[in-house]
Amino acid sequence: MAKLMITHSQLVHPQIIDCHCHAGKGDRMTAPWNTIAPLKSYLRRARAAGINKTIVIPAFHSNYDEANAELGRIVARNPNRLIGFAFVHAKRDAGRIFDMVGRALKNWGCRGIKVHGFDAMPSREVCEAARKFRLPMLVDVVSRPEVVDMLAPQYPDVNFIIPHLGSFTDDWKAHQQVIYQIARYPNVHADTSAVRQFDYLVQAIRRAGPRKLLFGSDGPWTHPGLELHKIRLLGLPPDQRAMVLGGNVLRLLRRAPRGAEVTEITSSGQNTRYETLVSEGVAPGSRDNLPLIPESEYHL
């Protein structure tokens, strides 16, 4: 496969992609994250901070089909800036995960899966759907990183992103363990959202390398500019910073199917574009994945 050149302007002005933000209404109304995730201020702040695109996921909801549909409508209003990930509940939606994800891809253009440990940890059914559709999976392990040691080796061709370096609640032992996991498993990555103890981000880069850490904000409840500044403070060389800011997540999104391909997978279980990528040596779990690929390659 031809080597893709990284241009000077890509290094100086890298694509900045926030890989973790919420959007839409929840229906429980007992906490902000299950009530509403309003994007208006977020989008203004993100633009001011220089963030080009944002991956959005629904708020907690008792019906994720409904929440994914609302998310799809939000993304459709701002398709140049937003990319949707479909939320599924591994227990409550058991038996219909593949259909739900297929619907979210077909109807709403989703490009990944979100699972939250507060609902239920990912089941084989969820991982099989991610594998079949070649989607990255954002899994909040709620300070229980031991589940990553179960998931990652069982599904080496599924790319997992562990938000908050394993813990939204500053559990340093979870951070430590996730740092080892992203270093050990080629298919495990972490996002930087809401990580307060800065030196764990430094350690993540030192141990696992810049290809395993993804910039995320966990907006709209955090300020995306403030979260982005943490990446700048890491003081990485331009090529490494570009990976963390957006290159890595673009690489993971590259395998997600679109349009007719989604229909092909839902009906036949095959993904020919993925097979082509494998034959070109750009397979999930490969350490040889290209660090930076021009945005035009990804059709975002």
| Of 6 and 21, CB closest to Zn ion | 21
86 close to 110: Cβ distance less than 8 angstroms: yes
Least separation in angstroms between CB 238 and Zn ion: 28
Least distance between Zn ion and beta carbon 57 (Å): 7
Residue nearest Zn ion, CB atom distance: 218
Kindly report the number of other CB atoms within 10 A of residue 286's CB atom.
15
Least separation, in Å, of the C-beta of 21 and Zn ion? Answer: 8
According to DSSP, residue 123 is labeled: -
Query: Closest CB to Zn ion among 93 and 227?
Result: 227
Our CB check for Zn ion shows the closer of 68 and 240 to be 68
Applying CB under 5 A, among 218, 241, 247, 289 the residue interacting with Zn ion is 218
| Residue 149: CA count within 13 A, CB half-sphere | 8
Give the helix/strand (H/E) hosting 17.
strand 17-22
Q: Cβ of residue 193: shortest distance to Zn ion, in angstroms?
A: 7
* Long-range Cβ contacts of 35-39 (<8 Å, 24+ apart): 35/59, 37/220, 37/221, 38/220, 39/74, 39/220
Q: Which of residues 18-57 bind Zn ion (CB under 5 A)?
A: none
| Residue placing its CB nearer to Zn ion in the complex, 135 or 262 | 135
- Smallest separation (angstroms) from Zn ion to the CB of 191: 9
What the block records as the tokens of 182 is 């992203």
Q: Give all strands of the β-sheet with 86-87 in edge-to-edge order.
A: 86-87, 113-116, 137-140, 160-162, 188-191, 213-214
Size of the site for Zn ion (CB under 5 A): 1
Question: For Zn ion, which stretch binds (CB under 5 A), given 92-100, 149-157, 173-181, 211-219?
Answer: 211-219
Using the minimum distance from each CB to Zn ion, give the nearer residue, 18 or 261. Answer: 18
Q: Are 85 and 140 a contacting pair, CB within 8 Å?
A: no
- The nearer residue to Zn ion, 119 or 218, going by C-beta atoms, is 218
Closest approach, Cβ 136 to Zn ion, in A, equals 15
Q: CA 1 → CA 13, 106, 128, 276, 282, distances in Å?
A: 26, 30, 29, 11, 9
Query: Which of 62, 107 has the CB closer to Zn ion?
Result: 62
Least gap, CB of 116 to Zn ion (angstroms) = 8
Q: Residue 106's closest CA among 255, 265, 251, 252?
A: 265
Cβ neighbours around 154 below 10 Å, total: 10
Helix (H) or strand (E) holding 173: helix 172-184
Binding site for Zn ion (CB under 5 A): 218
